[in-house]
Amino acid sequence: MIEKRQEVNATSAEKNIHTDFTNNMTYGEYLSLDKILSAQNRLSGHHDEMLFIVIHQVSELWMKLILHETQAAIKSIESNDLSTAQKRLARVSKTQSQIIQAWDVLSTMTPSEYMEFRDALGQASGFQSYQYRMIEFALGYKTDHVLKIYQKDPELHNRLQEAFEAQSLYDVAIAALQRAGLHIDDEVLNRDVTKTYQDNESVRLAWLEVYRNTDKYWELYELAEKLVDLEDWLQQWRFRHMKTVERVIGFKMGTGGSSGVGYLKKVLDQRFFPELWDIRTEL
């Protein structure tokens, strides 16, 4: 009897649920699910190719959000709205945690299963992910040779060129240090932003001052910790990428022509915000 009464109450409570969408937008239409869910086109027909495609598509969606939030954070820092920038970057870090976990799912695919459809990929490779390149550019790691990959699509190439020539997240953070009255060398403030950032003594000393006087520079201190979070998670993503590739294909050459695991191990040495890591030894 009690269960029957609960069922009636539940039905009564949900009487306003909409069921007629003849003239209204549905959930699927809002999200364009017809396009998204019809984009998993297996070239080999192999069962596990679906996993491979979905993982990479989901990762690209998360990267789209990472770029959206990072670019917004850059604009917030430029306008000296550091609290909003911190919120944006906190969301980036949470998003990164999701993209890292995707490797755990892909790792359920064995080497034998992957080899059943690997040839169908041709020369397509994650190395060619333009969103990943734009994330690298936004964080200050600039390499112009990768732009050649995207010459096939002039519109996309122009977008990447624009991102390549733009100030990075760290460039605007350093400018915020200078606006707060901390000394930054002119050569850093006026540097060629198409070059990968190199550590600088004046930047190191400025961040050291921030960390030694957190009450005075609280917002800069919080911003610095968000930057450290971001690089930490990115390196964890790279490490999981490298180990997943090693687990699935060993030390074979990548489909895009890279050295595969060798290349992925090398990029683990890249640093984005070097002074923020170096000062920890001095504190």
Binding residues are: 52-56, 114, 118, 241, 255
State how far the Cα of 147 lies from the Cα of 157, in Å rounded to an integer. Answer: 7
Separation of CA 277 from chain center? 20
What is the end-to-end Cα distance of the chain in Å, rounded?
68
Q: Is 14 exposed, middle or buried (0-12, 13-18, 19+ CB in 10 A)?
A: exposed
CA 139, CA 66: separation in Å to the nearest integer? 11
| Helix then strand then coil, % of the chain, to nearest 5 | 65, 0, 35
Angle between helices 49-78 and 130-139 (to 10 degrees): 30
Residues flagged as binding site for substrate: 52-56, 114, 118, 255
**Contact assessment for residue 201 and residue 272, using Cβ atoms and an 8 Å cutoff:** no
Which residue in 194, 207, 168, 175 sits closest to 79, CA to CA? 175
- CA gap 220, 217 in Å, rounded: 5
Residue positions forming the annotated binding site for heme: 241
Q: Estimate to the nearest angstrom the gap between the alpha carbon of 102 and the chain centroid.
A: 13
Measured between alpha carbons, how far is 44 from 58 in angstroms, rounded to an integer?
Answer: 20
Distance between CA atoms of residues 174 and 204, nearest Å: 10
Q: Which of 232, 239, 213, 216 is nearest to 276 (CA)?
A: 232
